[in-house]
Amino acid sequence: MAFSSEQEFKQFYDHTFPIIRMYLSAKCGDVALAEDLAQEAFVRLWNNRNKVEIEKAKSFLFTVGNNLFLDHVRHHKVKNNYSASFSIQQDNSDPQYLMEMEEFKKKLDTTIQSMPEGAREVFLLNRIEKLTYAQIADNLGLSVKAIEKRMQKALEIFSTLRKIK
């Protein structure tokens, strides 16, 4: 059954928007971007409100939000690669230091991207958004113990980063 009225959609929006925004914020680490992506996901739900069943609307939003985030990342990578090819870096810092920092940044990005999604999500919510394990568990609908396990997995992956030289 699809949404029967604007009021029903508004109630669904008021209840679900913070959940979708939090999910996207955990994925991208940028609250403003997460809010934009969540808004766009709801616009797409509104445009398809006659086709999407109410019971599947939340799943629709998570899927659309995730796809919008992935599109954003792809676009950002293309944009950065293009602009990097034209930029001339002028820095008076030690070239060795700059090279080591660049290598470390790449390893850090690679490590975060290689984490299982659950571990990455918990890690970013805790370390970037500064949420407690209890808050994360509540937002994701998991137990605190599950959050602790995911964080342990993320930290184990990070410990390998220190060993790589």
**Residue-wise pLDDT tens digits, 72-117:** 888 877 766 656 555 555 555 678 778 888 887 888 778 888 888 8
Residues 117 and 54 in one domain: no
Least confident of 29-38, 102-111, 140-149: 102-111
- Asked whether the predicted pLDDT for residue 18 surpasses 90, the reply is yes
Both tokens of residue 67?
Answer: 């796809």
Q: Are 155 and 119 in contact (CB under 8 A)?
A: no
Which of 53, 87, 121 terminates a domain? The answer is: 87
| Geometric angle at alpha carbon 154, from 130 and 140, rounded to 5° | 55
Residues 153 and 72 in one domain: no
Residues 83 and 3 in one domain: yes
Q: Are 144 and 137 in contact (CB under 8 A)?
A: yes
- CATH number, residue 143: 1.10.10.10
Tell me the chain's radius of gyration from C-alpha atoms.
19
- Number of neighbours of residue 121 by Cβ within 10 angstroms: 22
Q: Are 124 and 29 in contact (CB under 8 A)?
A: yes
> Tell me, what's the pLDDT at 3?
78
